[in-house]
Amino acid sequence: MKKIQSIRGMNDLLPDQSPVWQYLEDTARQLFERYGLSEIRFPILEPTELFKRSIGEVTDIVEKEMYTFDDRNGDSITLRPEGTAGCVRACEQSGLFNQSPRLWYMGPMFRYERPQKGRLRQFHQIGAEIFGLEGPDIDAELLVMTDRLWKDLGIRDHVTLEINSLGTGEDRQRYRTALVSWLEERREALDEDSQRRLISNPLRILDSKNPEMQKLLVEAPKLSEFLGDDARIHFEQLRALLDSTGIEYTVNNRLVRGLDYYGKTVFEWVTRSLGAQGTICAGGRYDGLVEQLGGKSTPAVGFAMGVERLVLLLDAARVVPDSIGRQVDAYFVGDEALRGRILAIAEQIRGLCPELRLLTHTGSGSFKSQLKKADRSGALVALILGENEAAAGNVTVKYLREESPQTTVSVAEAAVLLQQLLSQE
């Protein structure tokens, strides 16, 4: 019989990888708490209309990357390709905007893209969205917060920050006109994709990955020259704030982002360590989106990071702590006849030492083969219960990763030893 395979670009997360994911998720969760953000969870399926109206009809995502189906009612529904739209919808629906919420979320997103390293069809994002604040100070704080995350994870040296201002809607309108007429004069030199975008979404041409196009665009009119006072001052203040916090950045005039709802500040954290899929975190300001979705005008700024890319970077940079990869700290072996005692002592130790990851040997097996399993489990120590230990109410602690001699102690003392071992890390 032909075996059923997973859908292309949708990966399983196997146990050897899940500790790194948990480590990343835990680190992010703690970070968000330190900056006063609260978690929000919203559905994976939303009405298709939500994404069309927010992300924009002529973006890559809506044009060709969404998983859209009719449900049994004939209503068009879509697997969320990103989190911001659902987050805004949820806040509006629940009246949360009155409280100027600071939110974070994490979970799977879906885009029909060509799968490759760091690009999947089911991928995961960790994101943050802050509502009700219009000043550049909150833009800066989000960047400070992400900067701290890279430091906490040990990848600060592997990433750089690029920022840009997209101006207000009016600024972009004026720029769009200028850019289109400049590009129309050079229509022959444009690749197929850019010719198509010239009509549908000309600003996206700036983001072209084609080197020929990039060369051509060096001379193109710059959005920065079209910024009105509002956006220009916002951007100058953001830069001053970043300077005063010592966060280095480059201004990338061609950074436009692929979603229509952005305005004023946009940014990307980029790494050179992952090849073409170098953006690990991207975001910006989207002051118009809440209103566009039918709510009261509400300023907003946020970002999303790609978990798969971050995990690739953590591995490439070799910064995952050893203790993260280990899933067992202690492995309990002993005479088969003493299985009941072993279970009871293991429970006692778990009670005394709650962080300990303790595996008890189950089934039969010679003492030697049990110890081999203990070694293969990656545990730091083997706990041993033989007849002598059992008679004396003791347990033997055998070190598997260091030269220390084994020691036979009471169960309570063993728990203290194990606790010490864990806190040394």
Interface pattern 205-244 for ligand ATP (x via CB under 6 A): ----------------------------------------
Assess 150 for contact with ligand ATP (CB under 6 A): no
Assess 119 for contact with ligand ATP (CB under 6 A): yes
Residues 289-308 that bind ligand ATP (CB under 6 A): 304-306, 308
Residues 167-186 that bind ligand ATP (CB under 6 A): none
Assess 202 for contact with ligand ATP (CB under 6 A): no
Assess 87 for contact with ligand ATP (CB under 6 A): no
The nearer residue to ligand ATP, 121 or 361, going by C-beta atoms, is 121
The nearer residue to ligand ATP, 20 or 380, going by C-beta atoms, is 20
The nearer residue to ligand ATP, 115 or 386, going by C-beta atoms, is 115
Assess 254 for contact with ligand ATP (CB under 6 A): no
Binding residue for ligand ATP, selected from 20, 31, 40, 120, defined by CB under 6 A: 120
Binding residue for ligand ATP, selected from 309, 345, 353, 371, defined by CB under 6 A: 309
The nearer residue to ligand ATP, 44 or 392, going by C-beta atoms, is 44
Interface pattern 97-116 for ligand ATP (x via CB under 6 A): --------------x-x---
Assess 204 for contact with ligand ATP (CB under 6 A): no
Binding residue for ligand ATP, selected from 227, 256, 280, 421, defined by CB under 6 A: 280
The nearer residue to ligand ATP, 262 or 331, going by C-beta atoms, is 262
CB of 292 to ligand ATP, least distance (A): 17
CB of 413 to ligand ATP, least distance (A): 49
3-state secondary structure the chain: CCCCCCCCCCCCCCCCCHHHHHHHHHHHHHHHHHCCCEECCCCCEEEHHHHHHHHCCCCHHHHHHCEEEECCCCCEEEECCCCHHHHHHHHHHHCHHHHCCEEEEEEEEECCCCCECCECCEEEEEEEEEECCCCHHHHHHHHHHHHHHHHHHCCHHHEEEEEEECCCHHHHHHHHHHHHHHHHCCHHHCCHHHHHHHHHCHHHHHHCCCHHHHHHHCCCCCHHHHCCHHHHHHHHHHHHHHHHHCCCCEECCCCCCCCCCCCCEEEEEEECCCCCCCEEEEEEECCCHHHHCCCCCCCEEEEEEEHHHHHHHHHHCCCCCHHHHCCCCEEEEECHHHHHHHHHHHHHHHHHCCCCCEEECCCCCCHHHHHHHHHHCCCCEEEEECHHHHHHCEEEEEECCCCCCCEEEEHHHHHHHHHHHHHCC
Give the binding site for ligand ATP (CB under 6 A). Answer: 82, 111, 113, 118-120, 123, 125, 258, 277, 279-282, 304-306, 308-309
